[in-house]
Amino acid sequence: MMMLKMMIRIMMMMMIRLIMMMMMTMTMMMMMMMMMIKMMIMMVNVMFMMMVIRMMMLMMMMTRMMLVIRMTRTKKLMMPMMMKMMMLMMIPMMMIVYRMMITMIIIRMMIRMSMIMI
């Protein structure tokens, strides 16, 4: 009888330990996922900041160029130059925006996957 009780107690202890372990692993997984998501969001923020800075730089360049053009040439020549510059500006802008979109989609997918896992 005593033996049986002991056995049951040991089993119970083992079970509790197992459950605890499982819980720990689950929490760890959760934490990891959260960290990953946080990291991703931070990355996106950094990218966005970089994009803004780049944009600012480009704008500065543009203004400088325009000033130079204005000083040296007549207004007839200025318009096509401006157009060209604008076009050149737009291409990298579009690229950056596209990349941002892709990253956002990936992050959303990641979050969804993590939710499913949890």
HSE of 30, CA atoms in CB hemisphere, 13 A: 7
Considering the entire predicted model, what is its pTM?
0.32
Residue that has been written with the tokens 């000083």 in this structure: 71
CA dihedral 28, 30, 31, 33 (to 10 degrees): 120
Backbone angles phi, psi at 95, to 5 degrees: -60, -50
The model's pLDDT over 44-65, given as tens digits with 9 standing for 90+, comes to: 777 777 777 777 777 777 777 6
Q: How far apart are CA 81 and CA 69, in angstroms?
A: 8
Cα–Cα nearest to 60, from 80, 85, 83, 81: 85
Count of CB atoms within 10 A of residue 82's CB? 14
Averaged confidence pLDDT in the chain: 72
Q: Residue 75: what pLDDT?
A: 57
pLDDT of the chain, 118 residues: tens digit per residue: 677 788 788 888 888 887 777 777 777 777 777 777 777 777 777 777 777 777 777 777 777 766 666 666 555 555 666 666 666 666 666 776 777 777 777 777 777 776 666 5
> Helix 2-72 crosses helix 75-117 at what angle (to 10 degrees)?
180
